[in-house]
Amino acid sequence: MPHALEAPALERVAGWLLAARRVLVITGAGVSADSGLPTYRGVGGLYEDCATEDGMPIEEALSGPMLLRRPELTWRHIAAIERACRGARPSRAHEVLAALEQRLPALWVLTQNVDGLHRAAGSRNLIEIHGDVHALVCTGCGARRRVPDFDGLELPPRCPECDALVRPDVVLFGEWLPPAAYQQLELESARGFDLVISAGTSSGFPYIAGPVLAARRAGKPTVEINPGDTEVSAACEVRLRSGAAAAFDALWNMVVTSLPPG
């Protein structure tokens, strides 16, 4: 099986990209690592499996029930996630995926990241399955707004319209996936993909591993970009044991001259 950034492996993937009508790229914290964000497990890729300074597991502190019971505690950890994202710029991986969306017939990004960097890079065929930490929603009237950061935001914030608790539009532990995002994923999956690429994710969730496994069963090309082994490694026809930025930059350099003008 091809490893690292060997030319034959890159050439195979580049050929699949150029031939595909519909491409799905699944991204995780590793894609934002070159933007300076941590790759640990947890909401926003920020926390390991450990107790917080409050003496409780992070899965409890950053949970939906805790947000309702002790919003100040949950918001303190949410603010830490936002601070980790603050000032980060899209990496080369984000940039290449946004550019490929403009040049290929159809390219969708399914991301677990809540940092908003795919959107900042220009991706629009985007399924943010865990939400975006910069999108705020009122738990009372449902009013929505976007903020560049939490600087100056009184925590926990209240809605100026109805005074109900405001929360970030992200999936906390113990919560369901957002229906609109999940339905979009199901719709695009039903239409089928000619190529599925998993990049920078351990693929620990069924809805993240599922598209790779489905493509493999259908005989479609599958690619993994990840330095280590993951839940879907055995199902990927080509594995590039590399960081996402280096791999996508190399692929872009291979395919750009063969793509129609953007």
What is the helix (H) or strand (E) element at residue 30, kind and residue range? helix 29-32
The three state secondary structure string of 196-255 is EEEECCCCCCHHHHHHHHHHHHCCCCEEEECCCCCCCHHHCCEEECCCHHHHHHHHHHHH
Distant-in-sequence, close-in-space partners of 32: CB < 8 Å, separation ≥ 6: 39, 45, 88, 91, 94, 113, 115, 117, 200
Half-sphere exposure of 85 (CA within 13 A, CB side): 28
Contact yes or no for 52/59 (Cβ under 8 A): no
The SS3 assignment for 57 reads strand
- Residue 134 annotated as catalytic: no
Distance (Å, whole) CA 148 – CA 82? 10
Q: Which candidate in 94, 118, 130, 134 is catalytic?
A: 130
Q: What is the DSSP letter of 260?
A: P
**Which residues are catalytically annotated?**
130
